[in-house]
Structures are given as C-alpha cells and as structure tokens.
Structure 1
C-alpha cells in the first residue's frame, strides 16, 4: 500500500509551518487543518502532491500568522519562538539549522506575514517563484520584489559570523557551567561586551520584560539565576533548533531553554525561553526536513 503523501511529507510540512509561525503548537494546528482539507481533495486532479501540500500549509499558516500578529501585541514581555529538541542530523544541514535557529526565527518575526512566507519558501525550501506566487496569492513579479526586500531585511539583522559546531558547543558548555556554579567572572569572560539577553516568560515565569544590554548587567542577571531557587539547578547541553544549546532544570523539571549566538568566540546574544507553555518539546527530538 502506497504511503499517503501527507504522511510522507509531514516533517517537511511541519517545518514550513513552524518556520512561518515560530510556534510548534500553532504549526500542529495548521497541519491538522491542512490534513482535513487534503482528506477532501480529489487526488486524481493533483499532479504534484508535495507542491500542493506545501501550498495548502502555506495558506493556512498565513491565515494563522495574521491572527497571531494581533494576539502577540498583547503578549507579556518579549516573545521568543518555541524551542525544539532536534537531532544532530539537523545540525549537519547547515542551511536548515540556520533557518530554524532561535536567532533566525526571532528575525523572521520582524517581517510582515507575506514577506515571511516568501522568504521561507524561497530561501529555505528553494521553491520556484511561480509556485510561491500561487501559494501566497501574488503575481510572480511581485513575489520576486518581496523576496528581495525580505532578504535585505534579514541580512541586516542576522549574525554575520558563522562558527563551527565544535566551537559553538565548547562555548555553550562553558556558559552552562558558569551559570550552574554562579561564577560571575567566568560569565563575563565568555560574553561579548555588547551582549544582549532576551528572556521570554510570557507572564507565567519570572523573566526580564525588555532586552538587557551589556556584559555586566547580563552577567549579574544570570549569576542571580541559581541564587533565587531553593531546589537544585541543573544544566544540560542539548541540540536545540539545530544548534548546541542548553536545558535548565529546577528540581528535575524543565525551567528554561537556552539558545546562544556565538561570534568570534564570544556570546553576543542570550535567548532564555522560560514560558512553561513553550517548554513541552524538550523531551523528544522533533523531525525537521526540507
């Protein structure tokens, strides 16, 4: 029996929806809506099932993204994407790993919905302009202009320097050790002078409501992390969104997901996801594909 195309391409479809939405729960909802639509389609009239399904998921994700844009205006504090536990295989595909990184998804959040869809479909999944045009309901010429603007927007905001997996992991492990032991001096040494910390508590967990700038302020905030809890704090290196990151547990329960941007051996961005509703994907690796 031939596998249903939706099942065969599910990892790809989830990745498309997740990169457009930054939320695993919303991506799953989009896949459910898309599956219901697919179930009612006359398959004999579908020439390319993969392309058809990507278009369907894109349209559903665009609808959801426009709704989310309004709700996120009322979000308490800084909003960060859902962290995903991923396998080392995702990190081996450098373009995929970069596209699903917390840093990149945070940049994509600054794009308009259609710009985000066009950027994801073109730059990450390398779809032809005519297919993207059909997915977003715009002429191909317009899509080309949108793609150019989105590329320029992202390029101006994403980290310039790429680091090896081994260097990223070494810096992450050094950071997690300093965090667990509360070593202020070590935290200062591992971070760049102009480091920025962004934390997402969603009003459900303690977190800074605005970005914190500068190594001294950031180090002091981080050093206090393990001083305010009576229960033991543990830190574990994990593969997070295609890169080496960290998982912090308090009394055995997940409390924070840590994602770092490393440039020239120093940390320039610290992302702390503390909203408990966003820490549900840290036990089982999520399959991503493109």
Structure 2
C-alpha cells in the first residue's frame, strides 16, 4: 500500500495513477492467504511517522512491521510502483542516469515496467530497469531494487563505455544472426510450432553487465518449453539450448548444437523431459514429476489428460 501527496512541498511532480504527485511512500505490505482468504496488512519495515500515524488510526487493522512472518518478508519484492517512479526521477538532473527504454524522459509519461527476477544468490526477488545513453545505442546504467533484511535497498550501477552493453533492440538483432537460431526456427516451424522470444533481461555480474533472452517453443497440442538461450557480456555473444551451453559458447569453449530435423529435435526434447521426470520420481518430487510428464506428453503431441478405461 502507498501513501501519496499532490501538495508535498519543495519537490518535483511525477505522474502516478493518472495524477501528478510530489511524494509517494511504500507504507504498507498486504498478504492474502491463498487457502483461507485471510487478509493481513502490515507496516513496511522502516515506515515513517506518517505511515505509523495511519496505522494507529486503523485500530489494529494495520499490524506492526515486526509481526511480518519471516517467509513473507523474504519473498516480498521491492515496491514496484515506487521503483518505477524512482527510476523515472533518475532520468533527470542531478542524476542524469540516461533514458528509460529509449523514452523521452518526460515527467508526464508513465515509466516502463521493470523486469522482475531473483537475486543471483536466490536470496529474494529484485526489480531491474535499464537506462540508455541517448544517441549512443548503449546502456548507461542499471537500477536494481531489492530488500536487505526486509528494508528496501536501491542500487544504481553506472556503466562506462568499456563495460556496457548495446541496447535491447541491437542485442536482439545480433542474436537473430546466429545460424543455429534460423535452423531452430525452421525446425520448430516444420513441426507446426512457433518460436516465441521472451524478454531481454539484464543483470550485473562480477565482471559487469550480462544480458540474456530465452526463446520458447509453442506447440499446437499446447504447452511451451524453453528451447534456446542467447547471452551477451561486453563485446561477446553466445547462444545455446540451455543457459549453461550459451555461456560456454560465449566463452568460446563450445559451439551451439545445430538443430536437426523436426522429428529428431522432438526426440531430443522428449528424452530431456523424460530424464527430468525420472529424476523427480526417484526423489519423490511429485510436483516436478507432474510438470515434466505433462510437458513430455505435449512434446510427443499427446493430449494432456490421459484417457481412462
């Protein structure tokens, strides 16, 4: 939940929920029990005096931040709408981080939605937005929103010309020039499917920014599986059927396995999902087994529901 003010003094104005505001605070955290429907509202860790005042007026509806279950706090993302507004403000002086998504940087436009993912150490979710250097077709900065022991943490990583990456559109065009990509696209098309690109994601690794994009095969019987991954780091590109294979290709240690005919590609994919199902069965992971088995049936062109006799 947010607290906003259109009359907050000595600040600029930004668009938020179709109105101009001078202050936005992420004050509350709400949860809904998926099984029982029970709803709870908590103060955000580190909430200010205004939020505490509203909590006091709620007569117990808003619970103290100290009562947030630890599992909820670990899974709670950075407040998305606050992140978008902060990213929009960083386009301007004195920060001048760049342009969000190639936009104009005008304050009367809604900023683009950030990408949602997990931290590299899987400690919790994070939001990421990228800034572009106007006229240079390269990234100028990466903004990362996460939580540190429940409190929101915002990090702006500026990229110089020696460590940066091209903008998303340039990367997508370069990745599409891989010969194996065209062969894969043709193979899936022969099988009656369609290759669907996922979003281009950017993360900050120990050696600098890394961009990657997954491609998924949508098959006529239903279902979608990851079939290709493209990756970029500095001035190098890589691609492969998995993230590990794509990274090895980027390092120059492997070459992407060329897709075969539609039938051989399907058999390879079926074998992979059968191995996943077998591994899940051995350890008793029935959820993973069910997912792998359903995907295997989809790959083989079988209906998802078995016929009972």
Structure having the larger proportion of residues in helix: 1
Band the TM-score falls in, shorter-chain normalisation:
under 0.3
- Between 1 and 2, higher relative CO (CA 8 Å, sep ≥ 6) is seen in 1
Give the TM-score, by structure 2 length: 0.22
